[in-house]
Every structure is written in C-alpha cells, then in structure tokens.
C-alpha cells in the first residue's frame, strides 16, 4: 500500500481515450460533453464514492490516472483517493493497493484528472477506485443522467452509525459515478504473434517461434540476410548466398545461415527473402543489430 499527496488538474471535457495502443480508459458512466449530471450532495465526511472496473486488455497493468467530474459548487476541497483489488465483486472491495490525498476544485464544466504515473499502482484484474470526502455536501462527485446504472460497478462507503459498503443503487442513486480510470498494459507486445514478446524476439515482424539463429548474432534467420555480419544486406551477402544456392545439408557448399526459412535447403524462397532485405538492415530484432525497419519494398531482381 502506498500513501502520498498528489495533485489534480483540470482537463477539457473533450478528453480522448486512445493515447497509446496499450492504454485503456475504463468507465461505467455515459457522460458526454455538456450533458446534464447530478452532483451528489448527500455525502458526509468520511464517506466514499467508488467505481469498479474490469480491464479488457491483458494485465498486469499500471493505473496511470483517474478522471472524474467534481462540482455542484465552487471551492477547493481535500479528498482521499484509494485503489483496491476487487476480483471478488462483492459490496466490499479486496486488498487496499493505494491511498493518498488530492486537492480538487469544484467545476461543473471540466473533468478533474488525478495523475498517478509517479506512484505506480499495479492491478492484475478487476479493481475499485474510491474518492473519500473530507467535507459534507457539495462540491461532490457527479452521476450521469443517461437512465442506466451498472449496479455492480457503483458503490458507497456510507456512514450509518458505522461505515459499511453498499451498492449505490441500494441507497437510491440512479446514475453511474463519473469516475474513470486509465490503465496501461505492462505485458510486452507480440507484433508477429509468434508467442515471443517483442522485447525478447529475435525477429519482431516475421513469426519465428523457434527463434532459429544459426550464426548466433541475435537476429533470427527468418529476417537475417546479413551473411557477413555487418548489419546490412548488400552485394557481399549476395556473393555468399550464391555459393550456397541450391545446397542441402551435407553438401560441401551447405551454409545454414543462408537457409532463411529453415527448410534444410537454400532455395528460391530464401532468394526471395534476400531480395526483400537487399540494401537494408536485417531484423528488426530485440536482441541483435537489426533494430530498425528493413527495406520491405525490395529492390527488384538481383
């Protein structure tokens, strides 16, 4: 569990959700720009408005920021912000992962953004984000007015003589809290979908689950037409390839490095691969010199 003081900033309501391919913004509410909302005035100090989220991207993920609509009155208020594990899906959340304090300024127009990038909060599945009130009444968290509520995703830690968790709908709240969470996937991508993560793949754009690398230069044969090891495919490599062309294992001119496709022969498919990479670098590879895009257009017949 982490605890610290963080600062919220105002962001335009035209906030977009797709900054990076690995990033996902989770929300239960249907709020859109300038849509009417209810600012929930019934909260008292110590109570919590919370939203449950289920990541759709593969996790573990880091919670980068929390976005919410907080208004109904002017003024600046100190609020608590917490993140819990919430895989059980009950009224009460699971283990507390993070807690901190944040200063929010009431605004009926702008969303508030709480940046958590300096205090990484890691989630592996469903989680809950809660805002704890340090004051009574407004300014407060908004709920949408789209006529729908996800009863299993909106909660209140309510003071009924003691603090207990309830689904917000049980307490008469009819809309989803305008609380959102943006997460980023910590799982490395796999561009060629060969089961090897890009950050460990010796050929990131052509599938090669076997990671075959006969010259042990960190670049898989399937995208390594650099036969002389200078990180570029040129006429010197063509000369080496010609010596091995149409050879099989056991032949005197057999060269496994020139067998790019791994079929135990140096044939026309390998020649086609050589043309594809001609006058460009090998790879790209996470583990060798081919770390930039090769010349995929080719340069015509050799």
Question: Is residue 170 domain-shared with residue 260, that is, in the same domain?
Answer: no
pLDDT value at residue 249 = 97
Q: pLDDT band at 8, cuts 50/70/90?
A: low
Question: For the chain, what percent of residues have pLDDT higher than 90?
Answer: 78
Question: Is residue 204 domain-shared with residue 227, that is, in the same domain?
Answer: yes
Question: Residue 262 contacts by C-beta under 8 Å, 6 or more apart in sequence?
Answer: 210, 212, 221, 222
- With a cut of 90, say whether residue 257 has pLDDT above it: yes
- With a cut of 80, say whether residue 135 has pLDDT above it: yes
Question: Is residue 181 domain-shared with residue 45, that is, in the same domain?
Answer: yes
- With a cut of 80, say whether residue 202 has pLDDT above it: yes
Question: Is residue 198 domain-shared with residue 178, that is, in the same domain?
Answer: no
Question: Is residue 205 domain-shared with residue 175, that is, in the same domain?
Answer: no
- With a cut of 90, say whether residue 12 has pLDDT above it: no
Q: How many domains does the chain have?
A: 2
Q: pLDDT band at 176, cuts 50/70/90?
A: very high
Residue 259 domain boundaries: 188-302
Final residue belonging to a domain, choices 185, 201, 216:
185
- With a cut of 50, say whether residue 18 has pLDDT above it: no
30-76 pLDDT per residue, tens: 999 889 999 999 999 999 999 999 999 888 899 999 999 999 999 99
Q: pLDDT band at 299, cuts 50/70/90?
A: very low
Question: Is residue 139 domain-shared with residue 195, that is, in the same domain?
Answer: no
- Distances in Å between the Cα of 69 and the Cα atoms of 128, 138, 275 are 17, 12, 57
Final residue belonging to a domain, choices 150, 185, 220:
185
Mean pLDDT of the chain: 89
Question: Is residue 178 domain-shared with residue 210, that is, in the same domain?
Answer: no
pLDDT value at residue 10 = 53
Question: Is residue 141 domain-shared with residue 218, that is, in the same domain?
Answer: no
Final residue belonging to a domain, choices 145, 163, 185:
185
- With a cut of 90, say whether residue 16 has pLDDT above it: no
Question: Is residue 120 domain-shared with residue 79, that is, in the same domain?
Answer: yes
Give pTM, 2 decimals: 0.64
| pLDDT average, residue stretch 73-89 | 96
- With a cut of 70, say whether residue 296 has pLDDT above it: no
Backbone conformation region of residue 238, classed left if phi is above 0, alpha if psi is from -120 to 50, else beta: alpha
Question: Is residue 212 domain-shared with residue 146, that is, in the same domain?
Answer: no
CATH number where 293 lies: 1.10.1330.10
| pLDDT average, residue stretch 122-133 | 97
| pLDDT average, residue stretch 163-188 | 94
Question: Is residue 138 domain-shared with residue 35, that is, in the same domain?
Answer: yes
- With a cut of 50, say whether residue 295 has pLDDT above it: no
Question: Is residue 169 domain-shared with residue 283, that is, in the same domain?
Answer: no
Residue 150: Cβ-neighbour burial (10 angstroms; 0-12, 13-18, 19+): middle
């Amino acid at each position: 569990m982490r605890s610290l003081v963080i600062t919220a900033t105002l962001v335009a309501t035209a906030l977009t959700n797709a900054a990076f391919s690995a990033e996902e913004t989770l929300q239960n509410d249907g709020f859109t720009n300038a849509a009417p909302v209810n600012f929930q005035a019934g909260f008292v100090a110590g109570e919590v408005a919370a939203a449950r989220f289920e990541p759709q991207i593969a996790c573990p993920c880091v919670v980068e920021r929390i976005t919410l609509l907080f208004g109904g009155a002017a003024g600046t208020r100190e609020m608590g912000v917490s993140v819990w594990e919430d895989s059980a899906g009950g009224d009460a959340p699971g283990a507390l992962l993070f807690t901190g304090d944040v200063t929010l300024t009431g605004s009926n127009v702008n969303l508030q953004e709480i940046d958590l990038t300096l205090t990484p909060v890691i989630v592996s599945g469903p989680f809950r984000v809660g805002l704890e009130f340090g004051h009574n009444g407004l300014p407060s968290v908004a709920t949408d007015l789209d006529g729908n509520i996800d009863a299993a995703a909106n909660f209140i830690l309510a003071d009924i003589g003691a603090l207990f968790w309830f689904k917000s709908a049980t307490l008469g709240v009819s809309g989803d809290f305008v609380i959102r969470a943006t997460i980023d996937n910590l799982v490395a991508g796999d561009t060629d979908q060969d089961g090897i993560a890009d950050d460990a793949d010796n050929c990131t754009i052509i599938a090669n689950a076997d990671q075959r690398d006969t010259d042990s230069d960190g670049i898989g044969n399937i995208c390594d037409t650099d036969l002389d090891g200078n990180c570029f495919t040129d006429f010197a490599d063509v000369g080496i390839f010609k010596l091995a062309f149409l050879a099989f294992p056991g032949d005197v001119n057999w060269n496994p490095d020139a067998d790019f496709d791994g079929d135990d022969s140096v044939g026309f498919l390998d020649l086609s691969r050589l043309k594809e990479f001609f006058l460009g670098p090998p790879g790209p590879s996470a583990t060798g010199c081919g770390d930039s895009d090769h010349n995929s257009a080719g340069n015509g017949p050799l």
